[in-house]
Structure 1
Amino acid sequence: MLKIKKSLLHQTFAKLSQIKVLVIGDLILDEYLIGSVERISPEAPVPVVWVRNEKQTLGGSGNVVQNLSSIGVNGIVYGRIGNDKAGESLERILLSNSVAKEDLVLLKSKTLPTILKTRIIASHQQVCRVDREEIVPLTEAEEATILETLKQKIKESSAVILSDYDKGYLTPSLIQSVISLCNAEEKIVTVDPQVSHFFLYKNIHIMTPNHHEAGKALGKKLASDSEIESACREISERITPDAMMITRGEKGMSIYERKTNTFYHIPTVAKEVFDVTGAGDTVITTYTAFVASGMSIKEAALVSNVSAGIVVGKLGAATVTQPEIEDALRTLGYLDEAV
């Protein structure tokens, strides 16, 4: 059984505040209207939700930024918002999550709205979700502007996360250009992929699809360990990453180190699944930050698995903290406290 030395964990915690992770992807504003239901509407057979509380939080690649902040890592953020109130809210929340003004590089569209997803919650149950978005790819001119500033920002970063929600920001040409820049600067690149772009992420450090995404990309169902291992090898042959991670829901996650042809199957640690929203964001965030701070692939994967087990027990796109990670590792028997 893999265990992480307490001294290594604390050394890594100390390094987290010294690094910057650059996040590139689709920014989304998540809005929650929370209330109760006491009657059915006389206008239609639908519940009337009496809203008692409202909150807005970061979704999409913004949740990656939120996760970084929660574990003490500063972020550099690239994304697109609209010239609207939702965009103002998203920008304000980003600045409150360990992102310096000069590290917030937002393309403000005059024609596209900020992507806004409104969830109506009654008695801890989601009644419905309302999405407001227009999916339009970046223009060549916009990509050129982004890449010009990225050349410097990548130098300032310890790692780069591509958080792809297929909303138009990460175009095929931008994906390839960013990876080329990162490789030239010898920066770690990690990817939370979209199936439509799956085999464009070549020569990266790691990709972290779930088993549904990986199966869809390959045109097959992935369930058993052997099927997962075969998929990891097949994908790795096509994109040549350092490692592949496939998250598997209640079966935990599987990691493949390509150069050593080694597999690790880590069982799930979630005690109670309340909401899986954002679990993938937590996985790639914690993995990237801990690898960039000196942990091995296997150690960082274990931390990310434990972190995901924590967030699925919370409502919405939740985050984890350093004390929660340490407590969970100890409780689960993954922490070696010997001096």
Structure 2
Amino acid sequence: IMDLHQLKKGKILIVGDIILDEYLKGSVSKVSPEAPVPVLKPENRDLKMGGASNVAFNVKSLGSKVELIGVIGKDSAGKEIKSLLKNKSIKASLVTSNKMTVNKLRLLAGQQQLLRLDKEELFTREEWLLTKKLFINKLKNFNTVVLSDYGKGTLLDVPFLIRESKKRKIPVFIDPKGNNFNKYKGAYIITPNLQEFSAEVGGFTSESGFTYKAKMLIKRLSLKALLVTRGQEGMTLFEKSS
């Protein structure tokens, strides 16, 4: 399995759904007279990189050379993403769309989340053609590809990205989304959480059932490895049987 040391000296191309995570924190002292809802008095606003931009930040903090490819809109959220990336010195090649930047706004009173507002429009072929062009031009400068799929439409044709990478013998790491993992066939490793894994392979009642289903998935998708994240229980790594 590729270890952290390899990632540290790696040149990593990250492609996927860029999300702006926005937190509006404040205090609640009354209930609205208009409806039975709390009235939030905003006190501070916090912006974080989410989705593929967060992956880029985490991978860069390991010491790797990183470049991010993704889609943003011509809006204030897109500008915020650009400035966050610049702030963290993350090199990015961004496709600018007429659609809005994916933006998740959370309203919080103290630690309590009151509401999450998701602003997004699914990206389509128009953005994909530009994303694909950037990927083809950049690929030769990297030795690892990470695909960060949040189901927002940036990665319209995952098999194409895997094929192109494999032609150059570049391993592809994937953070998957959705309930059809067939498009991830031929990746080096995928890293679903337990919920995503179970949705794909069906339920299981024991650790041995878990292992069996993991091995079957590795075989079906021709993976080298599978890493299932399990929340409080940490994570479990399965490798292809040699």
Structure 1-normalised TM-score?
0.66
* Superimposed CA distance per residue, residues 119-178 of structure 1 (whole angstroms, 9 cap, x where no aligned partner): 011111111111111114234xx444433332342221231111101111111xx21111
Q: Distance in 2 between the 1:206 and 1:217 partners?
A: 15
> Whose helix fraction is larger, Structure 1's or Structure 2's?
1
CA contact (8 A) 1:191 1:206 kept: yes
What is the one-letter code of the residue matched to 2:109? A
**Per the alignment, do residues 196 and 137 of structure 1 end up closer, same or farther by CA in structure 2, a change over 3 Å counting?**
farther
* Superimposed CA distance per residue, residues 212-249 of structure 1 (whole angstroms, 9 cap, x where no aligned partner): 1111112x213521121111112112111111111222
Q: Distance in 2 between the 1:43 and 1:132 partners?
A: 25
Which residues in structure 2 correspond to 1:1-339 (within 5 Å)? 12=5, 16=8, 18-100=9-91, 104-110=92-98, 112-139=99-126, 142-171=127-156, 174-218=157-201, 220-260=202-242
Q: Distance in 1 between the 2:123 and 2:31 partners?
A: 38
Flag structure 2 segments of 5+ consecutive residues without an equivalent. Answer: none
CA contact (8 A) 2:20 2:101 kept: yes
Structure 2-normalised TM-score?
0.91
What is the one-letter code of the residue matched to 2:124? P
Q: Distance in 1 between the 2:48 and 2:176 partners?
A: 22
CA contact (8 A) 1:211 1:222 kept: no
The structural deviation recorded for 1:22 is: 1.0
What is the one-letter code of the residue matched to 1:134? E
CA contact (8 A) 1:137 1:167 kept: no
**Per the alignment, do residues 94 and 64 of structure 1 end up closer, same or farther by CA in structure 2, a change over 3 Å counting?**
same
> Whose strand fraction is larger, Structure 1's or Structure 2's?
2
**% identical aligned pairs:** 35
Q: Distance in 2 between the 1:154 and 1:190 partners?
A: 14
What is the one-letter code of the residue matched to 2:228? I
The structural deviation recorded for 1:193 is: 0.6
Q: Distance in 2 between the 1:25 and 1:223 partners?
A: 33
* Superimposed CA distance per residue, residues 44-72 of structure 1 (whole angstroms, 9 cap, x where no aligned partner): 22112221111111111111112123333
RMSD over aligned Cα, in angstroms? 2.0
Flag structure 1 segments of 5+ consecutive residues without an equivalent. Answer: 1-7, 261-339
Figure out how many residues of one structure are paired with residues of the other and give that number: 240
SS of corresponding position for 2:186: coil
Q: Distance in 2 between the 1:213 and 1:118 partners?
A: 24
Q: Distance in 2 between the 1:143 and 1:41 partners?
A: 44
